[in-house]
Amino acid sequence: TIAAEVEGDHCVILSAPGHETLKVNVVRQPEAPEHPLIPVSVWHTSLHGVDQGDEAARWFQRLLKTSSMHNRLVALPETGVEGTTPRPVEFPPGMPNLPGRILAFSDAGPMLLISEESLADVNDRLVQRTGTAVPMNRFRPNVVISGCRQAFEEDTWLLVQIGSVPFLAYQKAERCKMTGIDQHTGVHDKLGPLEILREYRAARGPSHAEFGQLLVPLKHGVISVGDKITVLDRKLEFKRQQS
């Protein structure tokens, strides 16, 4: 398991059991020859990243126990770097199309929100079947909230404000088999949260389990632990159900 800690505005510290820590001063402007632009891919999208140097590559080489130096650590280039094309957020039909919203190397959205009440609902079902619950970090959310009146209440939200920053909640997050892997041991659950979610959170078909809301910020700002979250508007289908 690799743990990452952010230090200041431009430094990331990586650590892993049995290995020395790696401190990376993140470079987002290409600098030959140590920090060139190199091609990367996220699913079917081709992008470019700024190589973070051979020291970082050697750290991953030792961690992965490989003789190859092809495992490179990259950073998202600064906006406007020649030869790069931003990866836009893809908004589903019926959602406002907000130009200029881009993704880094994340899967589907800039941010992911999950409520503790929703996790509790999944764990209730999981414990009944396996006797074991899973922690929130299996789902890798950026924002964890509590105090919802019911599980999956966040599905109904369209516009929310966290602290002073407004967000568009534009899509449910589709989950993959990584949710069934214990990050500390690398062991895959025989029956994990994905299988449970597919039983009752698969509106688009049995292979599409959904859990959490993808968010995109509507302005620059800072959010902090303990911020109040305010629901500003709800999705149209849920307004119809209430009327």
Which of 202, 185, 203 is closest to 193 using CA atoms? 202
Q: What is the DSSP letter of 131?
A: S
Q: Are strands 111-115 and 143-145 parallel, antiparallel or unpaired?
A: parallel
CB 116 within 8 A of CB 143: no
pLDDT on residue 101: 81
pLDDT on residue 208: 80
Note if the bond before 135 is cis, omega within 30 degrees: no
pTM: 0.86
Is pLDDT of 243 > 60? no
In what side-by-side order are the strands of the sheet with 11-15? 3-7, 11-15, 22-25
Is pLDDT of 72 > 80? yes
Residue written as token pair 């790696």: 22
Mean residue pLDDT of the chain comes to: 90
pLDDT on residue 46: 87
- What SS3 state is found at 75? strand
pLDDT digits (tens, 9 = 90+) for 200-225: 998 777 778 999 999 999 999 999 99
pLDDT on residue 37: 93
- The answer to which of 14-28, 64-78, 88-102 has the lowest mean pLDDT is 88-102
Query: CA 165 to CA 130: how far, in whole Å?
Result: 40
Is pLDDT of 180 > 70? yes
Is pLDDT of 238 > 80? no
- What SS3 state is found at 166? strand
Is pLDDT of 198 > 60? yes
| Three-class secondary structure assignment of 201-227 | CCCCCCCCCEEEEEEEECCCCCCCCCC
pLDDT digits (tens, 9 = 90+) for 114-147: 999 999 999 999 999 999 999 999 999 999 999 9
Which position has the higher pLDDT, 221 or 94?
A: 221
> Which residues partner with 14 through β-bridges?
4, 22
The model's confidence at residue 242, banded by pLDDT at 50, 70 and 90, is: low
pLDDT digits (tens, 9 = 90+) for 146-179: 999 999 999 999 999 999 999 999 999 999 888 9
The model's confidence at residue 43, banded by pLDDT at 50, 70 and 90, is: confident
Question: What does residue 240 show for φ and ψ, rounded to 5 degrees?
Answer: -65, -40
Most distant CA atoms of the chain, gap in Å? 63
Q: Which two tokens stand for residue 81?
A: 């770097």
pLDDT on residue 127: 96
